[in-house]
Amino acid sequence: MNESPLRYLFVTTGDLRRNASFVRVRELGHGLAALGVEVHYVLDPTEFNCGLPMELDYATVHVLDALNRLRQIRQRRECIRATAPDVVHLLNPQPFNCSAIVGWSGVIVVDFDELLSQRFGSASRRVISQACEAYGRSRASLLVVASRHQQQYFHEQCHAEALYLPYACYLPAMQDGPSPYAVPTAVYLGNLHPDFDHDLVLDAWRFLQEQRIAPQLELIGSGDDLEKVRQTIASDGLSNCVSALGYMSGQPLWDRLRHAHVLLFPIRDTIANRMRCPSKTFAYMQAGRPIITNRVGEVAEALGNRATYVEPTPTAFAAAVREAFQRPSCTVDYDVAKHQWSARARLLLDAVTPLHESRKAR
């Protein structure tokens, strides 16, 4: 008699449109499904999430119907019981997903693509995050991390071993369209959130504008700082050379990345940045254009010696941009075949299968 496939449930919380980590659970799920795993997702009832069953057509999607957060806790727990998964996967332990696994005795994968306790500014949120992270580690059958630094941190500080599973290339394959640019243009792609470092780019352009040598720049991405960024562009007299386009996807995004003269990735050397694995590194690699960035954590791990690394200061970025625009742009081979989600999913499945088999044998 044929064995039934492994049943794998990703427990998510919040609106996934605003969560870059959605790439991780989407691509891992797709990769696992291709390996014969029966994949399930449980989603909160936001407008964006309610449209995801069509996108996640390789999986069974359970969208909660309760709008009250406390009732959602109960519904997540009920969903786990009804689905009876062999493996439950939590990404970044927080109160609303940790509560779903209280009392659950199956295989639990706890996946950290960053440490939220290192990112949140308020003391109360840090304490809550630290408690959830400790609970997640204590309940995990398998710990998964997205960065070498986090793997080392768990080993040295928590005496816990973790599977290293960084992000990978996630943009769908597309044909190159015509260039949207009439003149050479730099591109920054990213979440315009106060925690991140897009201010370095704006300050660099302000410096270049003062010298009257500022090239064109497009900022692509939404976030809490989007309107503030647009106001800064206007008030600092950068409107003639800088545009903040907001969120973009599909062919328009691909054409901008592929035809950019240079791609910009400012990232300061902080504990929080060392702990995470920014997914846009791999989008930039897929685009195959020159990259100016900072030598921090997983960015350098993925790019190796193929990027231009500078100090995380506006003047250093400005100097590198000025130099980049003095020469023709080019295509760069970032060896993206080494960074595919199919391989990441295989590593994950190889790690959870013996845990499942061991539990079945009890």
- The stretch 149-167 carries a mean pLDDT of 95
Q: Write out pLDDT tens, residues 94-148.
A: 988 899 999 898 999 999 998 887 776 678 888 888 899 999 999 999 999 999 9
Position 295 pLDDT exceeds 60? yes
Total-model pTM: 0.92
* Beta-carbon count within 10 A of 328 CB: 8
- The stretch 277-296 carries a mean pLDDT of 96
- The stretch 172-184 carries a mean pLDDT of 95
Handedness of CA 81, 87, 91, 95 (dihedral sign): positive
Token duo for residue 261: 């003269």
Label the pairing between strands 242-246 and 7-11.
Answer: unpaired
| Cα separation, 217 vs 226, whole angstroms | 15
| Cα separation, 73 vs 282, whole angstroms | 34
Report the range of poorest mean pLDDT among 11-20, 39-48, 89-98, 190-199.
11-20
Please name the residues in contact with 280: beta carbons below 8 A apart, sequence gap of 6 or more: 189, 190, 265
Q: Which of 92, 18, 20 is nearest to 48 (CA)?
A: 18
- What is the residue whose two structure tokens read 């260039």? 179
Q: 300 and 265 in contact (C-beta within 8 Å)?
A: no
User: Which pLDDT does position 19 carry in this prediction?
Assistant: 66
Token duo for residue 347: 């590593």
Split at pLDDT 50, 70, 90, the class of 18 is low
Position 1 pLDDT exceeds 70? no
Q: pLDDT averaged over the chain?
A: 93
Q: Write out pLDDT tens, residues 225-234.
A: 999 999 999 9
Asked whether the domain spanning 185-338 has the same topology as the one spanning 7-168+340-361, the reply is: yes
How is domain 185-338 classified at the CATH fold level? Rossmann fold (3.40.50)
Q: Write out pLDDT tens, residues 188-201.
A: 999 898 889 999 99
User: Which pLDDT does position 344 carry in this prediction?
Assistant: 98
CATH number given to 7-168+340-361 = 3.40.50.2000
Q: 222 and 228 in contact (C-beta within 8 Å)?
A: no
Domain ranges of the chain: 7-168+340-361, 185-338
Phi, psi of 243, deg, nearest 5? -130, 135
In angstroms, the first-to-last Cα distance of the chain is: 21
Q: 290 and 329 in contact (C-beta within 8 Å)?
A: yes
Letter for the amino acid at 78? Answer: E
Please name the residues in contact with 263: beta carbons below 8 A apart, sequence gap of 6 or more: 186, 187, 188, 189, 257, 284, 287, 289, 290, 291, 292
Q: Write out pLDDT tens, residues 67-87.
A: 888 898 899 999 999 999 999
- The stretch 47-73 carries a mean pLDDT of 89
| Cα separation, 42 vs 75, whole angstroms | 10
Phi, psi of 299, deg, nearest 5? -60, -50
Split at pLDDT 50, 70, 90, the class of 362 is confident
| DSSP E strands, 247-310 | 262-265, 291-293, 308-309
